[in-house]
Amino acid sequence: SVYRVTMSSTVGAQVNHIPTSYPTIGPELQNRYGDVEKYVRVINYKYSRLVPTFKMNEKVFYEENVIFADSTFFDLFAFEFLEGNPKTALRQPNSVVITKRMAEKYFDGESALGKHLNFNAKIDLEISGVLDDLPSQTHLQFDFVIPMTGIENSGMFRSYKITESWQVDWFWTYLLIPNTQSVSKVEAGINSLADEKIPDYRKENNAKFYLQALKDVHLHSNFDYNTDLTQNGDSKNLYIFIGIGVLILLISSINFINLSIATASGRYKEIGVSKVLGALRTQLQFQFIFESIVTSLISLALAYLLLQVLLPLFSVLLGVKLSIDLFNDWLLVAGSIGFAIFIGIISGIYPAFFVSSFEPQKVLKGIWKPGQGGAGFRKALVGIQIAISAFLIIGTLVIYSQLQFIQNKSLGYDKEHIVMLPIRGTALVKNYYSFKNNLLTESSIASVTSVSEPIGREVQFMSFRVDNQPQEQFVKILNVTHDFVKTMGLEILQGRDFSKDYSTDSTSGFVINEAAAQAFGWKDPLGKPLDHAFRQTNEGHVIGVVKDFNFEPLQKKVDPIIIWFGGAYWYIAVKIQPNQTDQALLALE
């Protein structure tokens, strides 16, 4: 009965889908429609582009997984509490609920309930609850939950009335709608509400709102701009794995059929005697099918035993936590037993009919010889086996080729000998240039720059005005300082990098990639007008074009990106001279 609000909008002829919306939607819907029993809003601290800190005694830690949520959070999502009361845990603004892992990290096995953590060097938060470590199956991954009422003191937003805003669409909104027949009514109500509150934006950008069932989030979410709370799965991959499993199971079943037929030669006299003594054909068929089912169930039991032993090894190999709880997941157990019985019937049905068709007098007199009957069928089965095996081998070779391609593909930048230093919230932010100059005196350091995101990871986006086009464009961005192109080994195709010789570069210069020039329809991009949508002046222009590089994961196409000059707030990238790693790391320390 839980649904979340998603939205789409069209910017620059491109339709964007995101799983977030405005913080005002939940309260408004509950007030207008009795169909919405409860709502909860969630916002991830990552949208501030900063990583918050938590301090205990003299130890300070960056913590990536921090969310703010309404007090109804634990009403909609039944996470297991080890300490505290889920009904009251998020009622006080200066409280926080943490996971068991964080409790052990900060309090070393002691009870964390009622103790305090200093948040962002601004405010002390009292621990009002400790959760058991979250299961891997939830898309709501976090380590800290702070009440939504505490967002005012977080330093995340300048405005204290952000939860009443129709300007910021960074909030995940979940609705509890017990009556499924009301879902379409509530969805229509959200769009009517948008017509009333943001008519211009809705009209200009064709903004639409939808309700996504919670059960569809993991396998049926394909949103833009890395806006979901965690990395979701893909139904296509699931079907591929199921297909491979079915094919391997089919090979095993064919094996079983062939072996059953082959081993039947030792049971000819048994069958003949049984028939002479009055055994009916249906009884013999049932006997063989029943034996097949028993064999299948014994195999299932052995498989579960092997699973318990091998699953931890596969978890380490894949880097993903895999677990199975046979005692609590009775549906899985019942389903697998039913499936094993089905496989037993399918695998045993042909041998049963084949063996039960023996004529007892021919078998007992030795007239009927092994190999008679069913030869063509057995050959067909072997042919199918070989075909499936060949298909799987070819698939394996293709995957191997893809992995080789990924490992050897030129990414368009030099990722070797680069050290990334996270500097958010440290004194290095204010002292970046002196730190950089000190580093450059070391012979082991080749160059230094700063960047807002590690290259190869998902990046953020911003709204731009492009060459006097009527509509703003949402474009992915990197915020850098001098020597970025040099440090990362990008190839300049036209123009230049940011330079200290041009004072205007830091305020109005932009470097774009080939994909951006193509998307904007520019054959000669240099000097073309380009500026942030939030700036009143239109002084920005393109100073350089770099060759396309994979600034995001390789499986994604290279999108347009705008590189603009900013402050050293997030990461420092240091390029080390070859074969001088030890000296360079010592200098960095």
pLDDT tens digits, one per residue of 212-246? 999 999 888 877 766 777 778 788 888 988 898 88
For residues 311-322, average pLDDT: 81
Say if CB 363 and CB 272 are below 8 A apart: yes
SS3 readout for 250-316: HHHHHHHHHHHHHHHHHHHHHHHHHHHCCCCHHHHHHHHHHHHHHHHHHHHHHHHHHHHHHHHHHHH
DSSP 529-565: BEEETT-S----EEEEEE-----S-TTS----EEEEE
**Do 533 and 450 touch, CB atoms closer than 8 A?**
no
Any residues with CB less than 8 A from the CB of 563 and at least 6 apart, and which?
A: 477, 478, 479, 480, 484, 510, 511, 512, 513, 546
Cβ-Cβ contacts under 8 Å for 585 (sequence gap 6 or more): 419, 576
Which residues are paired to 41 by β-bridges? 173
User: What was the pLDDT predicted at 117?
Assistant: 95
What number is the average pLDDT over the span 521-539?
82
Q: Return the axis-axis angle of helices 235-263 and 375-408, rounded to nearest 10°.
A: 150
Count of residues making up the chain: 589
Residues paired with 464 in a beta bridge: 473, 532
Q: Judge residue 544's burial from the number of C-beta atoms within 10 Å of its C-beta, 0-12 exposed, 13-18 middle, 19 or more buried.
A: buried
Q: What percent of the chain clears pLDDT 90, i.e. is strictly above it?
A: 35
**pLDDT given for residue 4 in this prediction:** 95
Over 70: is that where the pLDDT of 382 sits?
yes
Q: What is the mean pLDDT of the chain?
A: 86
∠ Cα 486 488 489 (to 5°): 65
Confidence category of residue 97, pLDDT binned at 50, 70, 90? very high
**How far is residue 543's CA from residue 495's CA, in Å, rounded to a whole number?**
6
pLDDT in tens, 14-65: 788 889 999 999 999 999 888 999 999 999 887 776 778 899 888 888 898 9
Cβ-based neighbours of 16, under 8 Å, separated by 6 or more: 8, 9, 10, 224, 225, 474
Quick check: pTM over 0.75? no
Q: Which of 546, 529, 425, 380 is nearest to 469 (CA)?
A: 529
Whose CA is closest to 55, among 96, 9, 12? 96
Predicted confidence (pLDDT) at residue 371 exceeds the cutoff of 60: no
Long-range contacts of 519-524 (CB under 8 A, 24+ apart): 519/560, 520/466, 520/467, 520/473, 520/560, 522/467
Radius of gyration from C-alpha coordinates of the chain: 32
Give the pLDDT of residue 158.
67
Confidence category of residue 374, pLDDT binned at 50, 70, 90: low
Confidence label for 454 from pLDDT (cuts 50, 70 and 90): confident
pLDDT given at position 155: 72
Q: H or E segment at 220?
A: none
Q: For strands 473-480 and 561-565, give the pairing.
A: parallel
Q: Which pLDDT belongs to residue 70?
A: 95
User: At 195, is the pLDDT very low, low, confident or very high (cuts 50, 70, 90)?
Assistant: very high
- Token readout for 310 is 């091998």
pLDDT of res. 160: 63
